[in-house]
Structure 1
């Protein structure tokens, strides 16, 4: 909660700088008065425009860091940014005002940038509790006509929109909640619900909750490559070689997962499909698939 409040204040600071920058570009004389100094420009607002662009860029950078959740970069930017209100404060005070009023905005900016920067650095992000992904092949295509797998979907784990042309999938929710996209529909599934995904039907799933979701997946006809893809994904996740959303961190491992999973991408991601196919085939030639199967291929 503290980090969210700090980020919210930093976002407002960024927007404030954007406003100040635009004001110097659009209404330089009014912006000059608000800044705390006045001089005769004779129609030449070159330095006003320079300051306007500086403040506009600074505000956009701060907003970008907040939006991208780059807290360390935001903290450093705010701490380094204290140079700007510090120099502005000296410039304003050098004009010999009899009141402190013109200096107050610069003092506030200095205190806020320094305070927020320090708080962001000392308020470290807690490491998430390690979740253990499980995959169990209940019935293999090697011994039957279908593949039946029970697996956990970790909190926030998701797949991109894709389809399979080799088999259909049936998802049955054993515990927890899961969002399943099926064609143009988005289904909210809870314990006991099930859904059939036909061949070539676009779909995805997303566990938006903070709890694990356990599901049973039935593949018809069965597919041993699909079974291997899930076992490998489980192993990579448990060895911290996959992201929190279940995506393998190494590009070759991701390419192999897509290949084994018979996952066909949709939209602009489809442009990368030939590249991933090339990487997967190359990885197979180099023995990476056999290495992964030896390490993770037993359910």
Structure 2
């Protein structure tokens, strides 16, 4: 735990660009170093007439249809933040300013891998403040029909997820992993978002999924996967849902020390779980390992 006992930011800016999966708009992004205790702040550089800073917090999440959207009191929003958020927390980046010139984060290839790669190129810098973890002390659970999301105490960060779809291309899948930086890279980072062709067509009629394609999503029609290259992993679908959950949890502002379990869950119930945890101060505490290391010396 010593390696991650202190906060980290980036060594220099991580710069990339791409299309938003829903807007179809081309967006340029620069993830920049930030002082200790900043957290992750998104800045809409295309907005100049009002407050353009949106802090990634549980309370800032304002929409969860097909992705996590955060907003501020001035009505400025940033959409589809979860894949970058997962890459940041699992790369050990606590503090960053994310400047973007549009309303939605680029979808890249539909996974967190491109974000991991640009963050790696930028490098990490240790800061002088202790890294705070959110230690789960008591079970918190949100149930919505057959969907469920739970946080329970554990000595490490664990992620379990289960999905079930009628399509034979997916079926029932489950993953249960102890999660750290290396495990995220090995097990989840390259797993892409997915959707059904008939849903994509309906979404486009609603003005969504304008940037969605087989370049950035696994597309299913009936029981068939349409992408010519096929899947990256046999259970890529459930692994992507676990990736999403990690990104959705990081709006708590600190990495979780505990076990997350999702059953048929999505962004909405993930955020409901975040809010339920924040509303139950008895169920968690901040824990820093710098003090414990000092006491042990």
Q: TM-score range by the shorter chain?
A: under 0.3
Larger Rg: 1
Bigger relative contact order (CA 8 A; separation at least 6): 2
Structure showing the higher strand proportion among its residues? 2
TM-score, normalising length from structure 2?
0.22
Structure showing the higher helix proportion among its residues? 1
